[in-house]
Amino acid sequence: MPSQPAKQDARSKLLDAALTVIRTKGYAATTVDELCAAAGVTKGAFFHHFKSKEALGVAAADYWSEMTNGLFAEAPYHDHADPLDRVLGYVAFRKELLQGGVPDFTCLVGTMVQETYETTPAIRDACDRSISSHAATLEADIEAAIRNRGLTPDWTAKSLALHTQAVLQGAFILAKAKGGAEVAAESVDHLTRYLKLLFTQKMA
């Protein structure tokens, strides 16, 4: 009966707070005190669960992976019989997620890796794991779509899967610069158009 938000322990509350605060202000500008205030816990609780701010960053990236894994695993686009439809369905699903404020639909690990890639290897690696493992879930469908269409492309399923992530991450940056989702949605439309062209082209 009792819902989650009330019964959460300090660790979960801190991780949830980290997702929203870091996505809004970035990792470096987010202070431990701020995280504690947003989570409604004290600093003692913070350092009981995380040995440092950096450790929280790594845990937040892992937590982000868990959350998104669940979200995408349950998304309806997997139901399509045609693997290309699953890939296109994935991208359409990503477009549907572009709702609410910019901090709500942008990517935690994309934000964090920008700030930490040179200075904090542990966080960079956690962000890389998150992005790369998510891209890998697309790779199988792309591979199946290639076989299904009998293509022999000069690109790999892996590089295309990563390209979809590049487009999305770049779309988030434009959304942040312009203060809205519209520009991101248009970039996702271009990605969809590319995928359709790739798999339906009548090449010379």
Nearest alpha-carbon partner for 129 in 58, 24, 78: 58
Beta carbons of 77 and 90 less than 8 angstroms apart: yes
Beta carbons of 16 and 108 less than 8 angstroms apart: no
Secondary structure letter of residue 119 according to DSSP: T
Tell me the window of 7-15, 65-73, 115-123, 164-172 that interacts with DNA (CB under 7 A). Answer: 7-15
Binding site partner of 15, from a second copy, DNA, none, Cβ cut-off 5-8 A by kind: none
Q: Which is nearer to DNA, 31 or 201 (CB)?
A: 31
The reply on whether position 111 binds DNA by CB under 7 A is: no
Token digits for 44?
């003692």
Question: End-to-end alpha-carbon separation of the chain, Å?
Answer: 62
User: Which 41-70 positions form the footprint of DNA (CB under 7 A)?
Assistant: 41-45, 47-49, 51-54
Binding site partner of 49, from DNA, a second copy, none, Cβ cut-off 5-8 A by kind: DNA
Beta carbons of 175 and 102 less than 8 angstroms apart: yes
The reply on whether position 113 binds a second copy by CB under 8 A is: yes
Q: Which is nearer to a second copy, 14 or 127 (CB)?
A: 127
Q: Which is nearer to a second copy, 8 or 93 (CB)?
A: 93
Tell me the window of 6-14, 81-89, 106-114, 139-147 that interacts with a second copy (CB under 8 A). Answer: 106-114
H helices of 53-156, in order, are 53-73, 83-96, 102-105, 108-116, 121-149
In whole angstroms, how far apart are CA 69 and each of 35, 91, 136, 161?
24, 15, 11, 16
Binding site for a second copy (CB under 8 A): 24-26, 28-29, 102-103, 109-111, 113-119, 124, 127-128, 131-132, 155, 159-160, 162-163, 165-171, 173-174, 176-179, 183-184, 186-187, 189-190, 193-194, 197-198, 200-202, 204
